[in-house]
Amino acid sequence: MLKNAALSTLAALTMGLSGTAAFAGDPAAGEREWRGCRSCHALTDDEGNQIQRGGRSAPNLYGIPGAAVASADPDFGYSDPLLAYAETGAVWNEELFVEYVTDPTAFLRHHLGDDSVRSAMTYRMRRGAEDMWAYLESVSPAVEDDAAAGDDAAEDAATD
Ligand code: HEC
């Protein structure tokens, strides 16, 4: 058991490191890119604090990292194609996020295998998607994927 715990901690650490190396987004640069999102999206935490002001024609982007697709803003009426994609159980990770914001219509066509769908999000982020991801991660609650959960457990054990 102990050996397994140590191994999973090691795996979590290694994944964390390789993640950082592969996707070195800059949160400060991402924050500057918010101007591209704000005409449609706001960024408001669960207590109602406005991290970024923005429009209401698109879902609140708080907590996107690690959230199931089309779930971060329960008050928003997501479009049918995005809801169809959400039925696959997909969760926003950096790879999917970057693909989506770069070209939301191409993303849906690719993942739904249907060239007739169009995304309700008409904006395309031409560069800086990794930075935007890093920014959203920096202002969102910790992502609770398996690796992170293992990490937390290890930290709890170490500090207790
Ligand atoms: C012109 C308006 C508009 C702009 C600008 C825009 N979006 Fe969107 N975005 C939308 C709409 C509308 C949706 C909901 C799409 C749907 O329901 O299919 C959406 C959905 C999303 C989602 C999926 C949300 C979820 O809960 O699954 C992400 C992620 C996203 N946008 C990121 C961004 C980012 C980052 C920017 C800025 C770089 C941006 N968007 C700019 C309109 C916009």
Among 14-23, 116-125, 133-142, the least confident range: 14-23
Of 79, 123, 136, which is best to mutate to test ligand 1, by the most ligand atoms within 8 angstroms of its C-beta? 123
Range from 17-21, 112-116, 151-155 that averages highest in pLDDT: 112-116
Confidence of residue 149 (pLDDT cuts 50, 70, 90): very low
pLDDT bin (cut points 50, 70, 90) of residue 79 is: very high
* C-alpha 130 – ligand 1 centre gap (Å): 15
CATH number at residue 98: 1.10.760.10
Please give the average per-residue pLDDT across 32-41, as a whole number.
97
Q: Is residue 152 part of a domain?
A: no
Per the structure, the complete domain to which residue 55 belongs is given by 23-137
Would you place residue 158 in the very low, low, confident or very high pLDDT band (cuts 50, 70, 90)? low
The structural domain count of the chain equals 1
List Cβ<8 Å contacts ≥24 apart for 77-81: 78/120, 79/119, 79/120, 81/108, 81/112, 81/114, 81/117, 81/118, 81/119, 81/120
* Residue 102 per-residue DSSP state: H
Q: Indicate whether 160 belongs to any domain.
A: no
Q: Which atom of ligand 1 is nearest to the CA of 77?
A: 17
- Give domain status of residue 111, yes or no: yes
Evaluate whether residue 43 is within a structural domain: yes
pLDDT of 139 > 50? The answer is yes
Higher pLDDT, 27 or 154: 27
- Kindly list the protein residues whose Cβ atom lies closer than 6 A to any atom of ligand 1: 33, 36-37, 39-41, 57-59, 61, 64, 69-70, 72-73, 78-79, 82, 97, 100-101, 119-123, 125, 132
Angle between helices 146-159 and 2-22 (to 10 degrees): 120
